[in-house]
Amino acid sequence: MRNSADKFVRLRFALLFIQLFLCLTFFASSSWAIDPLPFKNREEEVRFQKLAAELRCLQCQNQNLADSDAGLARDLRNLVFEQMQSGKSDSDIKAFLIQRYGDFVIYDPPVNAETAPLWLSPFFAFAVLIGALLYRAKRSKDTGTGSTYPDPKPHKEDW
Amino acid sequence: MNLRDAKTIRWWAIIPFLLFAYLCVILYLNLKSDNDPKSVPSPFLGKSIPTFVTTDLLTGAAFDSASLKGEPYILNVWGSWCPECAREHPVLNQYAATPSAIAIIGLDHKEVDPNDGKVWLSRLGNPYRFVPVDPDGRIGIDLGVYGAPESYFVDAEGIVRYKHIGALSLATINQKVAELNREK
């Protein structure tokens, strides 16, 4: 009898915990820029928020335009909004900012001579790894030992 | 460990140590260099500086930055709200007082009240030939300014040769101006 009551309490705690977790994650997902910008409709606002999240605030470098409270971020948000109103596309607006602030202003760096090492190094590391594995596999096949690790069998000379 | 294994030297066993040493060297060098991660290279380096038209803070006359072409100059972005600019200001005064100094143009960036800028200059001294104003920060955005003070070293052709983020030192000014003159 006591056992089942215990179980019931535990279940209720678990449910409470899940509800709390859902509440917290629900609020976490909506950390949007809060300027009172006069959006024409919901669609425009969503487009603006998406664009602002893809642009870096240079004054506070680990935040995007949507998150940042810095003066520059506010100015740039207004600028992005104005350009949206005047009918510019997302790529137009990005190009406008890259021309002035460089590639650093966008979070997705383009592939060019300067960023090539950044993009290629994972593939390079992967190739080296595969090469090393193939080399080892080939060598162990040649020697016929099956492994280059020390023989796992205990030897008489072992400590 | 047995004798038979001890004799075979596995060269790849030192790779983790080499990697570790490599990391140590790279991190140490970066720590010791004056490479500031906050300083973002300007996309205008080696290109023409964007021109702008505004008014002068002190005279109220029209100012067109295109008229500066033909001589090298330093475009210094400042504001009376900016503490680092106040720290930099004596250096600019000192440089401007040297006989061979090139012109310094002081862009008064995002001044809330134009009077603040005037008071600031009368209090700390005015090293600038012109003081164009940028109250809403739009000129700053066109120049890629993201925090004052910032200084553009522009050659006689109007090409940006160097951009400095943060307060200038006299040594930096002299060195970069010498480079501007050499390229002329």
Span of A36-45, A145-154, B3-12 with lowest mean pLDDT: A145-154
Which two three-digit tokens encode residue B93?
């005064």
Asked if the Cβ–Cβ distance from A158 to B146 is below 8 Å, we say no
Q: What pLDDT shows up at residue A40?
A: 84
Query: Each residue of A56-107: pLDDT tens digit?
Result: 888 877 788 888 888 888 999 999 999 999 999 999 999 999 999 998 898 8
Q: Please enumerate in sequence order all residues whose Cβ is within 8 A of that of B60, keeping only pairs 6 or more positions apart, or say none.
A: none
Which two three-digit tokens encode residue A130?
């595969």
* Strands B133-134 and B103-109, sheet pairing: parallel
Task: Name which of B38, B43, B147 is nearest A102 (Cβ-Cβ).
Answer: B43
Residue A28 has pLDDT above 80, yes or no: no
* Angstrom distance (rounded) from CA B140 to CA A146: 67
Tell me the CA end-to-end span of chain B in Å, nearest whole number: 70
Would an 8 Å CB–CB cutoff place B144 in contact with chain A? yes
To the nearest whole Å, the CA of A59 is away from the closest chain B CA by 6
Query: Each residue of B67-93: pLDDT tens digit?
Result: 999 999 999 999 999 999 999 999 999
Query: Each residue of B30-64: pLDDT tens digit?
Result: 888 777 777 788 999 999 999 999 999 999 999 99
Question: Is the CB of residue B81 less than 8 Å from the CB of residue B111?
Answer: yes
Helix, strand, coil percentages in chain B from 3-state DSSP, rounded to 5: 40, 20, 40
ipTM entry: 0.79
Phi/psi class of residue B172: alpha, beta or left (left: φ > 0; alpha: ψ in -120 to 50)?
alpha
Domain ranges of chain B: 53-183
Residues of chain B found within 8 Å of residue A72, distances taken between Cβ atoms: 137, 146-147
Q: How many CB pairs under 8 A join A and B?
A: 48
What mean pLDDT comes out for the span B106-133?
95
**Which of helix, strand or coil describes residue B162?**
strand
Query: Each residue of A110-141: pLDDT tens digit?
Result: 888 878 888 899 999 999 999 999 998 888 87
* Angstrom distance (rounded) from CA B41 to CA A26: 39
Q: Which of A60, A61, A72 is the best mutation test for B, with the most CBs of B within 10 A?
A: A72
Top-level class of domain B53-183? alpha beta
Task: Name which of B2, B37, B144 is nearest A100 (Cβ-Cβ).
Answer: B144
Task: Name which of A75, A98, A150 is nearest B141 (Cβ-Cβ).
Answer: A75
Q: What pLDDT shows up at residue A146?
A: 52
Which two three-digit tokens encode residue B4?
């038979």
What mean pLDDT comes out for the span B98-114?
95
Q: Which has the closest alpha carbon to A158: B26, B15, B2?
A: B2
Predicted TM-score (pTM) of the model is: 0.73
Residue B101 has pLDDT above 80, yes or no: yes
Q: What is the mean pLDDT of chain B?
A: 91
> Confidence class of residue A9 from pLDDT cuts 50, 70 and 90?
confident
